[in-house]
Structure 1
Amino acid sequence: MPALYNTTTTATELVSNYAPLIKGKTILATGVTPGTLGGFYVQTIASAKPANLILAGRNSTKLEQCAQAITASNPEVKTCILQVDFSSLTSVRDAAKQVNSWDDIPVIDVLVNNAGIMAVEYKVSEDGVESQFATNHLGPFLFTNLVMGKVLKSDAPRVVMVTSDGHRLSPVRFCDYNFDGGKTYNKWFAYGQSKTANMLMALSLANKLGVRHGLQAFSLHPGVIITTGLGTHLDWENTDMEGLLSTDRMLGNAEGWKKGFSPKTLDQGVATHVYASFDPSIKSNNGAYLIDSHVADPLEDTVKAWAISSFEAERLWKLSESLVGQSFPY
């Protein structure tokens, strides 16, 4: 295998390289919808003959479409549908209970937390938490910990957090994560906070469960993929692009002076998902943030110190336990 992949590396290429490591595994991926990163990820790895693919998302019809596409091309791969709304802690608890009740699937080898929302207008979840922080962080935090028993039964357990280089837009706002009821709300700050949280969660899992239980945990930036629908509600031609650029400029980020994006195809965007899920060479970098199918280099890539701090990770873990009303003392 190449020592270092890059921005043009594709998921198809990596699945071919890692096929022996994928075969027979059980993988649970969230945010699975046709034409998105999650949907392309499960369809691509299906060709390497995993034993089970658990497809999780809000829309059961779209989940079924993905399952049917997998079955049509790889009928020997078993698919399971898991309906869950990550903005609702009740829905998350119900989904985790369902997964834990599946006696015929005793092990989850890889859990990929891919579901998320981006730069939406201010609202709070049914649990009273700002929607991006609730959906992108608290829901996955609770779900991952509730199914951790099955993950740790794997011989080589992995948890993957899909984050973004958008973590540059904000650290976790520990004293104002809800933006003072919307009074201090900036949708890009809120997005950045939630993506920083994804990175810190991977670091916490590695710190807490890596040595004692062998868990590998990574976060990743897939790149900019404009065909997924994640940002279709945004006005990229005018107000929202200017809002993002203004936020970056205010923070002194180089991205504030860049012109346009360098988009990837879905196949290229999902490559780092596959790399994080199966690459054997990154075990010594447990908890790392990945980009373009390699461990991010703070000197070359956008990596903010607040998103790779073990101190910040532990603060977030305690806050998250408080917000979900449950402790996970590993």
Structure 2
Amino acid sequence: MSNWSTADIPDQTGRTAVVTGANTGLGYETAAALAARGAHVVLAVRNLDKGADAVRRIEQSTPGANLALQELDLGSLESVRAAAEELRTRYDAVDLLINNAGVMFTPKSTTTDGFESQFGTNHLGHFAFTGLLLDRVLAAPGSRVVTVSSGGHRFARNGIRFEDLQWERDYNRVGAYGQAKLANLMFTYELQRRLQGTGTMSVAAHPGGSNTELSRNSPGLLRLVFRLVTPLLTQTAAMGALPTLRAATDPGALGGQYFGPDGLGEQRGHPVVVASSRASHDIGGQRRLWTVSEELTGVTYPVPATV
């Protein structure tokens, strides 16, 4: 299907979608599009005031939108556990879990639990959140877990730095971001293997070059580059959300696929299936990352390990 757009999203009436980081940027556009097609959308956000503003804006564009707010700080496992427990109390089934929230190029810092911020927030927070909600996702026929990665996963050419996972030895904000986004993809692929035969699938997406707030922590030189190339290589957040929306709703999507823009360098355009790096397909690395993630978060999944 060429030029896939929000017009191609099937009716989502009766479905429940949880979108992390839904108060701004890609997450907001994803939540708004799903709500416009009838889904009950839970905006899982760190800042409830900003989340409430996002709800008001969606209600203005889609009167009668079926929305809910959930506080969630992916940089705190305590918050992740509390949010998952609240959602488990409110919902018997979750049709779409969209792991969208993230941080990019942050200065050296750690999460509440002492993890490097980008790895801890982008990967470990979502790993724990997904695991704690997975029984509710499995309870919904045809459900999906969609994890947003980035073309930046290719920065991690040598794979996950298991010997210095938290970048304590020589922190590099671009390298750490690449590792976190690579981890998102490796998680997607390993989860898909574990979900085989369940009726639930794991899919990934990346937005290309989207004009959002995510790059605000970029080093000075990169900020200059972004300003210069923005008119040429970036697109609106609404366009950047399309790969996520296609991964979440296209009836023809398959588990383990990765969606991104179809334009030059996958920077802009309409969503299609794209390829990811060789490192992302390292099965041994995927399994090792899974084991380490379980150990660091204390969260295990109600699906068996693959052989």
2:121 matched to 1:156? no
Equivalent AA in structure 1 for residue 14 of structure 2: G
Q: Distance in 2 between matches of 1:270 and 1:289?
A: 14
Pairing 1:223–2:208 present: yes
Query: In the alignment, what sits opposite 1:191?
Result: 177
Q: Matches of 1:317 and 1:70 in 2, distance apart?
A: 36
Measure, in 2, the Cα distance between the counterparts of 1:231 and 1:94: 29
Q: Which residue of 1 aligns with 2:257?
A: 288
- Taking the TM superposition and a 5 Å limit, the aligned residue runs for 1:119-138 are 119-138=105-124
**Percent identity of the aligned residues?**
31
Q: Is the alpha carbon distance of 1:28 and 1:326 closer, same or farther for their aligned partners in structure 2, counting shifts above 3 Å?
A: closer
Shift of 1:323: 0.5
Three-state SS of the structure 2 residue aligned to 1:19 is: coil
User: Does the aligned pair in 2 maintain the 1:32–1:38 contact within 8 Å?
Assistant: yes
- Distance in 1 of aligned mates of 2:223 and 2:165: 22
Task: Note closer, same or farther for the CA distance 1:53–1:92 as it changes in structure 2 (3 Å cut).
Answer: same
Structure 1 residue 58 corresponds to structure 2 residue 43: no
Q: What residue is the counterpart of 1:176 in the other structure?
A: 164
> Alpha-carbon deviation of 1:233?
3.0
For the pair 1:325 / 2:298, whether they are aligned, the reply is: yes
Which structure 1 segments of 5+ residues have no match? 245-257, 298-302
Q: Distance in 2 between matches of 1:329 and 1:190?
A: 29
SS at match of 2:164: coil
Cα distance in 2, alignment partners of residues 40 and 239 from structure 1: 25
Distance across 1 between alignment mates of 2:290 and 2:274: 23
Q: Which runs of 5+ in 2 are unaligned?
A: 262-270
1:80 Cα deviation (Å)?
1.1
Is the 1:321–1:327 Cα contact (8 Å) retained in structure 2?
yes
**Which segment drifts farther, 62-71 or 269-278?**
62-71
Alpha-carbon offset, residue 329 of structure 1 = 5.5
TM-score normalised by length of structure 2: 0.89
Name 1:82's counterpart in structure 2.
70
Q: 1:92 aligns with which of 80, 88, 95?
A: 80
Q: Per-residue CA shift, 1:269-308, capped at 9, x if unaligned?
A: 111111010111122xx212221221114xxxxx311112
How far residue 206 of structure 1 moved from its aligned partner, in angstroms, is 0.6
2:267 equivalent in structure 1: none
1:250 matched residue in structure 2:
none
Q: Is the 8 A contact 1:16 1:48 kept in 2?
A: no
Task: Give the 3 Å change call, closer, same or farther, for CA 241–72 of structure 1 in structure 2.
Answer: closer
- Match of residue 24, structure 1, among 6, 14, 17: 14
Shift of 1:239: 5.8
Write the distance in 1 (CA, Å) between the matches of 2:142 and 2:36: 21
Q: Is the 8 A contact 1:220 1:276 kept in 2?
A: yes
- Any idea what SS the aligned residue of 2:253 has? helix
Report if the CA contact (8 A) 1:30-1:55 is conserved. yes
Cα gap change, 1:239 to 1:156, in 2 (>3 Å): closer
Query: Secondary structure of the equivalent of 2:197?
Result: helix
The 5 Å alignment of 1:245-284 reads: 262-283=233-254
String of CA shifts for 1:65-88, please: whole Å, max 9, x gaps: 111222334343321111111011
Specify the alignment match of 1:202 in structure 2.
188
1:38 is matched with which residue? 27
- Shift in Å at residue 157 of structure 1? 0.8
Distance across 1 between alignment mates of 2:224 and 2:59? 40
